Amino acid sequence: MIPIIQIVIKEKLRNKIIYVFGILGAILMVLVSTGDGLSINGIKITTFEQRVPVAIAMNSFVGCLTAIVISLQTIPSEIERKTTHLILSRRIDRGKYMFALTIGNISASVMTMFALNLSLIVFIALLGRIDLLFSVLGSIMIMNINVMVLSAIVSVLSIRIPLFLNAILSIGIYFVGVFHNLLSTLSNAVEGPSGLLLGFILKIVPNLSAVQNQAAGALINAPIDFYPLVIQLIFAYVAITLTFFMFKQEV
C-alpha cells in the first residue's frame, strides 16, 4: 500500500499543487504582515502578534478548500483511467487500494497545508520569536485535523458519488462544520421537523469549529481541550475505515 500512497503524493507534486499553494501562502503572508488597512470589527490590527491568527485563519480556509479539491479527483481519476484494473490484477485487495488512495489524499492535503504556512513559520523564525513559533506550530498541527477529516470524508464519498454532486456536498459539509456551534444553538431553538433534521445533520457532520477554537487557544498558550480533537479524529478514522467497504463494482 505504501507505494500507492507514494504515487498519489508524487502525482500531486507533478501537478505542482503543493508548490502553487506554497507561493500563495507567501503572498498571503506578505499581504497580512505588511498591509496597513487590516481591521476586524472596525478595530485596526497593527502588531505582528495580532496578524498571526489572521494569517493562520486565512491559510486554514484555503487549506481546507484545497483538501476538498485534491480529494475530489484522485479516486475517480484512477477509475476513469482504468488504473484500478492494473492494480487489482496484481491481487491487491480493493479495500486496501481505496484505503491507500485515501491516505495519499490526506498526506498531500496536509503537505499543502504546511506549504501554505511555511512562509509564516520562516518569517517568525527569522524574527527570533521562538516563543511564538511553538505556539504557531501547535496551532497549525491542530488545524491540520480539519484538513485530514475533510480529505478522508471527500475521498470516501468520491468512490460512490459523482464529482459535481460530491463537490457541492463537500462544500456544504465544510461550512456546516465551520458554523457547527452556531447551528447547534439554532437547532435547540428551532422546533418540529426542521429542528430534528438540523440536529441530525449536526450529528453526522464533524465539528470543525471546535477544532478551530482549540487552534486559536494554542496561539495564546491556553490549555488545550483534547476531547473535541479526538472526536474529529474518530470521524476521520471512521471515514478511512469505510474505504474498505465502499467501492464501485467496476473497480
Per domain, the residue ranges of the chain are 2-242
Give the pLDDT score at 179: 94
List beta partners, residue 43: 40
Q: What's the confidence (pLDDT) of residue 41?
A: 57
Beta bridge pairs of residue 39: 44
**For every one of its 251 residues, what pLDDT tens digit does the chain have, with 9 covering 90 and above?**
677 777 777 777 777 766 776 677 777 766 766 655 555 555 666 666 777 888 888 888 888 988 998 899 888 887 776 665 556 556 667 778 888 889 999 999 998 888 888 888 888 888 788 888 889 999 999 999 999 999 999 999 998 899 899 999 999 999 999 999 999 988 888 878 888 888 899 999 999 999 999 999 998 888 999 999 999 999 999 999 998 877 654 54
Q: How far is CA 216 from CA 41, 54, 90, 211, in A?
A: 18, 10, 47, 9
The pLDDT value recorded for residue 154 is 95
pLDDT of amino acid 2: 76
| Predicted pLDDT of residue 43 | 60
β-bridge mates for residue 40, sequence order: 43
Q: What is the amino acid identity at position 54?
A: V
pLDDT for the residue numbered 141: 94
User: H/E element holding 43?
Assistant: strand 43-44
* pLDDT at residue number 84: 57
The cell numbers describing 108, all together, are 498531500
CA-CA distance, 113 to 60, in Å (whole number)? 7
Would you say the C-alpha torsion 93, 165, 167, 147 has a positive or negative sign? negative
**Residue 74, pLDDT score:** 84
pTM over the 0.75 mark? yes
